[in-house]
Structure 1
Amino acid sequence: MLRVLAVDDEKPLLEELLYLLRSDPRVLSAEGASDATEALRRITRALETGPQGSDAIDVVFLDIHMAGLTGLDIARLLAGFARPPLIVFVTAHEGFAVQAFDLKAVDYVLKPVRPERLAEAVRRVCAQLGQAQQAGQHPAGSAGTAVPASPSLLSSPSSPSASAASWASPPAAPSARAVPVQRRTGPEVTVPDRTPDQIAVELGGVTRFVAIADIAYVEAQGDYARLYTDEGSHLVRIPLSTLEERWAPRGFVRIHRRHLVALGRIDELRLDAGTTSVRVGSAELQVSRRHARELRDLLMRQATG
């Protein structure tokens, strides 16, 4: 059973990665760190307590592009320890695969992370740990090459470029299939829409189709957006500006740099000491001065037909 540390400075991506890792029966525990400093603190504590300690870490799933130290910097620092944890890089960039191989990473997973690709990375980690235990070695002291899914993935086991190519070329996506509508918890990512009246979201391999008419408002979260309905919320990998442009004909209006609201779902407009807010169901959302007058005009025209 693996003890995992996942490191990513983008919170939605870290939450998604942790959700997928915790869903894998081969993972005993999965904790997250949102920056290099926190990651190094946890890894140092794990090395001090040893492989049998309560803070032990078997493998680090590590983003490359982060503020401050990069994932490659962290891997180089760990290479100086006698018994470092294994490394799996998780990145949106293909261009660092050769450097990852040089640092003896077990795998190189491209974002957006697919559940089946992450499961393969976990399998490679388990295989390398198992080989090291059979040989009576710590995994860092064994051959630090990737464990391929099949012999055909590598044209030459001793070729760094061949290994890097196998990592940077993830398996083909599975064919389309009917998927059930399920209530699940955890971050979600978008897949193409089925019809113009719906938006598709995916959670742990389960695709849901959410009717746009059911969405009350949308909140920006970096390059993501969280869709709020009466039943819950869904995180999608689409910027708020894109949804604003796409859904304007459907009556969605921008009221703030963080919020897009369905005009017909506004229950109340409030003016208080020079500030404007709207009530959408149980949520009260601030309206920026830039958008306040336009929103009042739109609501007035709506009320008068």
Structure 2
Amino acid sequence: MADATTSGAQARVFIDGEAGTTGLEIRERLAAEPAVTVASIAHDKRKDAEARQALMADVDLVVLCLPDEAAVEAVALADGLGNRAPRIVDASTAHRVADGWAYGFPELDANQSEAIRKARRVANPGCYPTGAIALVRPLVDAGLLPADHPVTVNAVSGYSGGGRQMIEAYEIGKTAPAFELYGLGLAHKHVPELQRYGRLTRRPMFVPSVGNFRQGMLVSLPVHLNALPGSPSPADVERALADHYRSADLVRVVSNDERVSLGGRLDALALNGTDNLEIFVFPDADGRQALLVARLDNLGKGAAGAAVQNIRLMLGL
């Protein structure tokens, strides 16, 4: 099918896996897009490869909200359509560091939005890497953080980012703990994309955790400023971040006055229901250390909101 952006027609989008948490969120957001029609497949055909491929041939773009293995199989179905294959946004982990896929974080650098706009296939970022890369990449690009610096990222998310079983453990079975660390083998599946798109040559340490709240996320990066080349000040770090996101619509660096008004506390749930991402720089008293924090909704800019941002770019909306 010809792209709606080239034909002037209504754009048709198929969400493969629309019944999951991310799929439902994307569908809800696309309902507010007057230039988009969401095409659905019959419930009893959701796992029918032939039916799914036929629908893929009849839409402009497919969003994959599937487990990794199923996402790979869905891409193979699209490949089988040849020049009738739709454009793809993959919300799984399967293609985030794969060749031929654009990384769906438009704020990554000055050229990324255009790369996504032109791409046939876009890998939606993970929720945790979205926050971590938002903190790391500008500092590496500005020369403040060496690419081989030993980086540690800590993060906490609401349980909705853990999928159906985790959601049921919190909301139905009531068997989940109030808070827990996980990924303690230090080889979480998000590490490869964090390293690649953070432009790090040394594998970062990443320690995720989950709390007993449905959605919301804080991602933190502790930095010993006096251990970095040139001993940059907290103001230098904040300036580099602000310069990087100066033209961004959804990402902003919180001002010093706003930060001070928080009284040394940060609510993980404050951006719930939005597609925004906020960045904070919390320095110590003598400026030798700083804690950088990204705050976002793991279902917003961390998942569905990011997917719709990429869809809008790809369809020229």
TM exceeds 0.5?
no
State the structure with more CA Rg.
1
TM-score interval, normalised by the smaller of the two chains: 0.3 to 0.5
With CA pairs under 8 Å and 6+ residues apart, which has the higher RCO, 1 or 2?
A: 2
- TM-score normalized by the length of structure 1: 0.33
- TM-score normalized by the length of structure 2: 0.32
